[in-house]
Amino acid sequence: MKKKNIVILIVCLIVFYLSSNVYPCTTFCIKDNKNIIFGRNFDFSTGFGYVIINKRNVTKTALVFPPEKPITWTSKYGSITFNQMGRELPYGGINEAGLVIEQMWLDKTKYPESDNRYGLSELQWIQYQLDNSTTINDVIASDRLVRVSFQSYAPIH
């Protein structure tokens, strides 16, 4: 029995040693009658970032390259975002209307091909929504005007 346990322990240690790192995306939302609590993990190997306060009434232009059409908008809502790459490129945040948007990584993500809508980078799309939307229905309705650019790099969802 003792020998069997030692063998099992050795096999488990070998499996754990040989396994690769896993960085799963995790978000959660807990709601009761009065409160909503949202949380997520930050599962990127680089752990630094910035908390940015984004003000209302700031005019912004999308950073995209031809053949994409850049959209210009003025923020309707202020927000607090967590950014790693710089201002206007949030990984997620919450606006003053209570809308929360967070990105999660999915290697199989596919972005739409170029069409007549304005293109935004995957991170600017988050800022655009926090600047202009109050509800999920607003975000869905914005699909008629904007989309994530086919030139986007990170496969987030």
Task: Return the closest-CA partner of residue 59 out of 69, 71, 50, 43.
Answer: 71
Whether 16 maps to a domain, the answer reads no
Whether 141 maps to a domain, the answer reads yes
Instruction: Report DSSP state, residue 20.
Output: P
Whether 2 maps to a domain, the answer reads no
Per-residue pLDDT at 112: 72
Q: Give pTM, 2 decimals.
A: 0.78
Per-residue pLDDT at 156: 55
* More reliable by pLDDT, 151 or 157: 151
Whether 7 maps to a domain, the answer reads no
Whether 157 maps to a domain, the answer reads no
Whether 6 maps to a domain, the answer reads no
The CATH code of the domain that includes 94 is: 3.60.60.10
Q: What is the mean pLDDT of residues 93-110?
A: 84
Number of domains into which the chain is organized: 1
Residue 71 class from Cβ within 10 Å (0-12 exposed, 13-18 middle, 19+ buried)? middle
- Convert 92-121 to b/e letters by CB count within 10 Å (16 or more is b): bbbbeeebebbbbeeeeeebeeeeebbbbb
Whether 61 maps to a domain, the answer reads yes
Domain residues for the domain of 65 are 23-148
Measured CA to CA in angstroms, residue 56 lies from 5, 63, 75, 100, 103 at distances of 63, 20, 5, 16, 22
Q: Quick: pLDDT tens for 15-50.
A: 666 655 655 677 878 888 888 888 877 766 666 788
Whether 18 maps to a domain, the answer reads no
